[in-house]
Structure 1
């Protein structure tokens, strides 16, 4: 799917960080393509050397001048990325946080049985990492900006097999509201984007995910699955000044699936 261009220079002069690209099927990649198509300059991160093989060609495609590793489990890497942004650009207009993780044994079991270590890891990577990025981005957003994270419908209702990740996403959405309230006076907006079911690498870890995709396709009012491009364009719009008084929202990009019982 091509990016529907309303104005190719919609975000010209804006600079932002995209975190969470694993390959060309990642939601973060859909966001990167949309922001770049609208004229923004991007900093791109990759998880590790194995991921770098897949992400580096994508970073080149969007002409990212900053391309660095960021693994939340490695001390200092997240700070190094923001230090590089500060020294290279001196400011930042938006951040797209599209990372989440839960150990397989934790994600695959009942919430009531979740081990403490697995719970803490899930919350650390899936929720606290966004709060930490907001903290590091705040002094760089000298003229305001927008922070985005990715959530899912399983934060609001019980989705079979989503388990502890639903708990983490609920915490993440609450964090969005508190951050929006705290950073709003500085002109910094905060949003959670809630895409419908998408066939990404991260989703492949959810049992019976193919059944969820089919259910989404047949029940959503739009009667079709969304694409990473759909998510990217919706996210990019919220970074524009036209959306300057929209903040603290959970934006569903799911063909209307969330309104159907």
Structure 2
């Protein structure tokens, strides 16, 4: 297949939140690159760079630091990505975080400060990213974020992140409404449980993965490439008529309980 006939040939993407080779953001980057996209990647800080830089180099993608809690870093990231790529056609927001004490505790015991930080990093950062990217995505752009089933139902040990992800999915619908007239499509992708660094902070996560394997129609976990393939579809011509959705890639687990 020639590079010009690949689904994402000529498309330019910014992917936020690469932590290591097991992160969902990396799966999205790897598939998008294989489908012809030119990319800029972000990681949290210099501490994460040794784990991410070899990955970025393997797909010839610039790697930039971005901590969404640091004033001006998100704006700087978008500006540098646009300068390096000459524009943007799709953006992947794969960022979620909550203080560990809040994540391991009951939602009823969560603090206002901890809840606010989790919302700022995991949810409101999508709104800020959308505002910064809107002028560059206008016409045919796509913005995708990552959610989880715990947004729709109470999942044991998912705790504080459940309400935060519920807010994120609502944010997607409102962004789709507000950005649609500019030709921008917005989606949430909801993978099943996967052995990522972020998931390692959830108590008894192995039990959650085992349950998914036992009860999902496909009787297995999904892969990073399968998540990346869905994101690539949404960013490409196949997803041109879709917006405002939460799409599951979880082996059918969401449909059978």
Partners of 1:91 and 1:142 within 8 A in 2: no
Q: What is the 5 A alignment of 1:1-261?
A: 9-64=6-61, 66-261=62-257
Distance 2:38 2:193 in 1: 28
CA deviation after TM superposition for structure 1 residue 86, in Å: 3.0
CA deviation after TM superposition for structure 1 residue 234, in Å: 0.8
Distance 2:254 2:5 in 1: 31
CA deviation after TM superposition for structure 1 residue 72, in Å: 1.1
Distance 2:33 2:83 in 1: 21
Partners of 1:8 and 1:38 within 8 A in 2: no
What count of residue pairs does the alignment treat as equivalent?
A: 254
Runs of 4+ in 1 over 3 A off after TM superposition: none
Partners of 1:226 and 1:253 within 8 A in 2: yes
Unaligned runs of 5+ in 2: none
CA deviation after TM superposition for structure 1 residue 85, in Å: 2.3
Q: String of CA shifts for 1:145-199, please: whole Å, max 9, x gaps.
A: 0000000000000000001100000000000000001111111000000000100
So what's the TM-score if we normalise by structure 2?
A: 0.96
So what's the TM-score if we normalise by structure 1?
A: 0.95
CA deviation after TM superposition for structure 1 residue 8, in Å: 6.3
Distance 1:75 1:41 in 2: 27
